[in-house]
């Protein structure tokens, strides 16, 4: 298969609304693209994401119904749902701690200061950020950060809603990494946020604390599934050289 360069994949990727039912995808290739998605950069390497891959036609129809039966979902050969799992922060922090301990174990030249700092990050900073569910405690922390920030630069995005943005950012990067990997091999996609999150979570049997970032439909495009030429506002209106 002829693999595209990154620029070629970017050029190929369009949001496809109608797929060709006569051209099924190779599932193992889609799984490889999901594997690539896990290589996306992500906040603190906490990997607060999950990927739900759907091939079963009945489940696709059920998910499409929660996406208001948009053609991009209804005609898809497969779907991948990108899910934010902020609630898994303890497990992910522990996975990082275990990894760091084993990595330090292998190192010949140990640097205890660096080790301590790295471990502290997952043992103290992450619980401080993700473990605060009480709004009053969160507000006090927020105020103290603003106060500290009067004298020197401070990380201010520590409110509960800030952490939702943090987790969604990383998951969206995974979704884009997936879509570009699909484009690399000539597979098509459409990202969707038009869905009933409550109903979709029920179909996927997801826990209440999870959040759906995007549904990405997959298939091979029908030419009429590309809705017009690509439109972007002039580059000069969004590019600011400082
Ligand atoms: C977060 C997000 C949500 C989107 N939701 C939908 C959607 O629900 N339905 C749809 O048909 N397209 C959806 N799109 C696709 C956009 O409309 C599309 O990316 C945009 O028009 C630019 O076109 P292009 O992707 O072909 O370059 C979404 C895209 C993003 C990034």
- Which domain CATH number covers 10? 3.40.109.10
Which residue, 171, 186, 184, 185, is CA-closest to 216?
171
Please give the Cα distance from 34 to 49 (Å, whole number): 12
Q: What is the rounded distance in angstroms from the CA atom of residue 98 to the CA atom of residue 114? A: 16
Strand order in the sheet with 49-54: 49-54, 78-84, 211-219, 188-192
Best mutation site among 66, 70, 79, 192 for ligand 1 pocket (most ligand atoms within 8 Å of CB) = 192
Domain membership flag for residue 23 = yes
Q: What is the whole-number distance in angstroms between the Cα of residue 155 and the centre of ligand 1?
A: 31
In a domain, 233, yes or no: no
In a domain, 234, yes or no: no
Measured from the Cα of 194, ligand 1's closest atom is 8
pTM of the model: 0.94
The pair of structure tokens assigned to 168 is: 């969604």
Burial of residue 41, with CB atoms counted within 10 A of its CB: 0-12 exposed, 13-18 middle, 19 or more buried: exposed
Atom from ligand 1 closest to the CA of residue 227: 26
Does residue 239 form part of some domain? no
pLDDT in tens, the chain (242 residues): 689 999 999 999 999 999 999 999 999 999 999 999 999 999 999 999 999 999 999 999 999 999 999 999 999 999 999 999 999 999 999 999 999 999 998 887 778 888 999 999 999 999 989 988 787 887 888 888 888 889 898 888 888 889 999 999 999 999 999 999 999 999 999 999 999 999 999 999 999 999 999 999 999 999 999 999 999 999 999 999 99
Give me 97's structure tokens. Answer: 């701690």
In a domain, 240, yes or no: no
Q: How far is the CA of 65 from the centre of ligand 1 (A)?
A: 18
Residue nearest to atom 22 of ligand 1 (CA): 15
Is residue 188 a contact partner of residue 15, using CB atoms and an 8 Å limit?
A: no
Q: Burial-class residue 98 by CB neighbours within 10 Å (0-12, 13-18, 19+).
A: exposed
Number of folded domains that form the chain: 1
Half-sphere exposure of 43 (CA within 13 A, CB side): 22
Domain assignment present for residue 237? The answer is no
**How many angstroms separate the CA atoms of 94 and 131, rounded?**
13
**DSSP designation for 43:** G
Minimum CA distance residue for ligand 1 atom 20: 15
Name the closest-CA residue to atom 4, ligand 1.
Answer: 192
Domain of residue 43, residue span: 1-227
Centre of ligand 1 from the C-alpha of residue 177, in Å: 15
- Residue 241 falls inside a structural domain: no
Q: Are 100 and 122 spatial neighbours (Cβ–Cβ below 8 Å)?
A: yes
Residues with CB under 6 A from ligand 1: 14-15, 17, 70, 72, 190-194, 214, 230
Ligand 1 nearest-atom number relative to CA 17: 11
| Residue at 144 is within a domain | yes
Instruction: Identify the residue whose C-alpha is closest to ligand 1 atom 30.
Output: 191
Minimum CA distance residue for ligand 1 atom 29: 191
User: What distance in Å separates the CA atoms of residue 82 and residue 213, rounded to the nearest whole number?
Assistant: 5
Q: Where are the beta strands (DSSP E) in 26-165?
A: 49-54, 78-84
Beta carbons of 197 and 211 less than 8 angstroms apart: yes
């Amino acid at each position: 298969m002829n693999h595209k360069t990154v620029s070629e994949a970017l050029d190929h990727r369009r949001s496809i609304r109608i797929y060709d039912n006569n051209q099924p995808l190779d599932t193992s290739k889609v799984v490889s693209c999901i594997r690539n998605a896990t290589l996306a950069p992500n906040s603190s390497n906490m990997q607060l994401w999950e990927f739900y891959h759907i091939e079963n036609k009945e489940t696709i129809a059920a998910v499409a119904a929660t996406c208001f039966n948009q053609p991009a979902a209804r005609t898809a050969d497969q779907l991948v749902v990108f899910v934010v799992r902020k609630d898994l922060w303890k497990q992910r922090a522990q996975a990082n701690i275990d990894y760091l301990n084993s990595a330090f174990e292998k190192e010949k030249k140990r640097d205890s200061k660096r080790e301590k700092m790295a471990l502290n990050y997952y043992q103290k900073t992450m619980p401080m950020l993700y473990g605060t569910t009480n709004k009053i405690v969160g507000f006090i922390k927020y105020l103290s950060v603003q106060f500290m920030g009067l004298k020197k630069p401070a990380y201010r995005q520590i409110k509960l809603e800030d952490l939702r943005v943090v987790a969604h950012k990383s998951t969206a990067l995974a979704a884009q990494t997936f879509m570009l990997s699909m484009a690399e091999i000539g597979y098509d996609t459409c990202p969707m946020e038009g869905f009933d999150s409550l109903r979709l979570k029920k179909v996927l049997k997801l826990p209440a604390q999870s959040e759906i970032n995007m549904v990405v439909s997959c298939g091979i495009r029908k030419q009429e599934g590309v809705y017009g030429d690509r439109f972007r506002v002039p580059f000069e209106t969004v590019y600011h050289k400082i």
